[in-house]
A and B are shown apart, each in its own frame.
Chain A
Amino acid sequence: MYGITIFALLLMVANYLISGMFMQEIGKVSVDLALSAVTFSGLLLVFFVGINLISKDFDRKTIYMVLSRPISRTQYIWGKFLGMAMLIISAMVIMSIFAAISIVMLKWTYPDYFARFSWMLVLLALTLTTLMLILVSALSFLFASFSSTSFIALILTIISYVIGTSIREIKALVEAPQAAGIQVSPFILKVVNAAYYLFPNVSLFDIKTQAAHGIHLSASYLFWVIAYGTGYIIITILLAGFLFRKREFP
């Protein structure tokens, strides 16, 4: 938590300094910087704290102690996951407050350059980012539930995240290969389509551009993206609990 606070403070100062360098759309740049920095540190939290939460129990054999208690393995996974989700939410709240302060400071210094600025959209972007982080964390739980070391779980989570951010663009590319002047075999098309449904579509949760430019988002978009996110999270954790029940310990 201290680490997060220090990072958030640094981000605030950096945002103030960097945004001042631009000519016109200082509001846009400051929102970009604030949202990207918050997302980045949230991801660090998920990758390095979230994964250790379960994997450390395996590595240090403390899992034996937990499993001997009168709680089911599914309860163990759900408990850990809800704890992690709460940690993500509270960390995001702290970072969001600092990010908001930096934006307020900039807005106060350069009031003319915030013409199309909307707090509502920034707040929405932060909320969706939180949902996205919880989703990635759920994935990390799934990977940790069957992998033998925390390192493998970490790599699998990072790979899924990277695939998730670019899957939409890649799907668009293979579906209209003429635009880029490339040839795509039907097999690759099938693989990409499978990946599209298998991996989390992280880019859906990314409304940074809309928030930065104050471009309106429809309510149905928000509804469906939240439905998609919560659905994916619940499926992943159920799967993780199932795999964890089947797991055998040496």
Chain B
Amino acid sequence: MKYRGFLPVMALALLIPMHILALSRIGEEQKRLPVSDESAPVITGPVVRLTALGNEGLVSDFLFLKAVVFYGGTFERKGRPRITPGEWKWLYNILTASTDADPYFLDPYYFAAGVLTWDSHLIREANELLEKGTRYRDWDWKMPFFLGFNYFYFLQDNNKASEYMMEASRREGSGRVISTLASRLAYEGNRTENAIYFLREILKNTDDPSIKNEYTFRINALETILSLEQAVEKYKKKYGSTPRDLHKLVEREIIPALPRDPYGGEFYLDQQGNVKTTSDLASMSSRR
């Protein structure tokens, strides 16, 4: 009779460590299971709206978080390209679904403006999202501002860009710089210089450290290009012709040495005498 209470205690003492062991083992095993493919189809907007049962806001938050978590996870990947075209498409789709659920939500637009353009060259898709943002968030100057930047820098459509900048400058909180930019865009040329202006403006309005890093990095690269362009101009003035390649600038002692491309590429002069880089200002290797 004495042992009656003893047995269950013994059993528990055995079973609890076993439970912990089993859980940790199955956790390890689970990691080895094939990961679900992130390019899987995304539920489209109308379906999301019907099935959210009044929680569209929450659903859009969740979809956006899924996109961010996926994007953050890719920085640990070793292979190249870091993100396949199918996955970019998936990212775009999930951002669209998120903004379908709640078209007023700023974060997906912001993310699209920062990520879809520079790394994947899905400019048209990013612009589609931003146009939606411009329509719904009619108080927010950042939406047309990002759009204007994309038109100016990626699509090289200064007229469209200046149009959107004008729109941005009309909205509250945009500051004087935007209207200056809008007018500057009317002039041709000065592409690199204007881009630095734009990016500085974005940087000023950012607190998120990863986005801040991203833009600081880009500004550095663009400033390097700007200094090279100025050196080429100097060469032209001095010798009356464009240099054959950038090494000529070092030879003639206009610059001390060729700068390094922070994106891992190499600077060169194209046929028209413009400074270009082999990296195309997209990350060549993981840099975080």
What's the interface size class on B, roughly? 20 to 34
- Do residues B110 and A29 form an inter-chain contact, with CB atoms below 8 A? no
Binds A, one of B16-24, B46-54, B145-153, B221-229: B46-54
* Distance from A190 Cβ to chain B, minimum over Cβ atoms (Å): 21
**Contact flags (1/0) for A63-103 with B, using CB distance below 8 Å?**
00000000000000000000000000000000000000000
Q: Complex formed: what's the CA distance from A170 to B46 in Å? A: 10
Q: Complex formed: what's the CA distance from A215 to B137 in Å? A: 10
Residues on B with beta carbons closer than 8 Å to the beta carbon of A18: 61
* Distance from A176 Cβ to chain B, minimum over Cβ atoms (Å): 12
- Cβ of A120 < 8 Å from any Cβ of B? no
Residues on B with beta carbons closer than 8 Å to the beta carbon of A180: 46
**Contact flags (1/0) for A207-220 with B, using CB distance below 8 Å?**
01100110100000
**Contact flags (1/0) for A1-45 with B, using CB distance below 8 Å?**
000000000000000001001111100110111011001100000
Nearest residue, chain A, Cβ from B69: A21
Nearest residue, chain B, Cβ from A213: B104
**Contact flags (1/0) for B194-211 with A, using CB distance below 8 Å?**
000000000000011001
- Cβ of B105 < 8 Å from any Cβ of A? yes
**Contact flags (1/0) for A158-169 with B, using CB distance below 8 Å?**
000010011001
- Cβ of B106 < 8 Å from any Cβ of A? yes
- Interface residue tally for chain A (C-beta within 8 Å): 32
Q: Complex formed: what's the CA distance from A23 to B205 in Å? A: 12
- Do residues A165 and B58 form an inter-chain contact, with CB atoms below 8 A? no
- Do residues A36 and B57 form an inter-chain contact, with CB atoms below 8 A? yes
- Cβ of B102 < 8 Å from any Cβ of A? yes
**Contact flags (1/0) for A98-116 with B, using CB distance below 8 Å?**
0000000000000010001
- Which 8 A-B residue pairs are closest in the complex by CB-CB distance? A32-B57, A213-B104, A36-B58, A206-B54, A25-B106, A165-B53, A36-B55, A165-B54
User: Can you spell out 10 A-B residue pairs with CB atoms less than 8 angstroms apart?
Assistant: A23-B111, A23-B211, A28-B104, A28-B105, A32-B61, A116-B139, A165-B54, A166-B50, A209-B56, A209-B57
What residues make up the interface of A, taking CB atoms closer than 8 Å to B? 18, 21-25, 28-29, 31-33, 35-36, 39-40, 112, 116, 162, 165-166, 169-170, 173, 180, 202-203, 206, 208-209, 212-213, 215
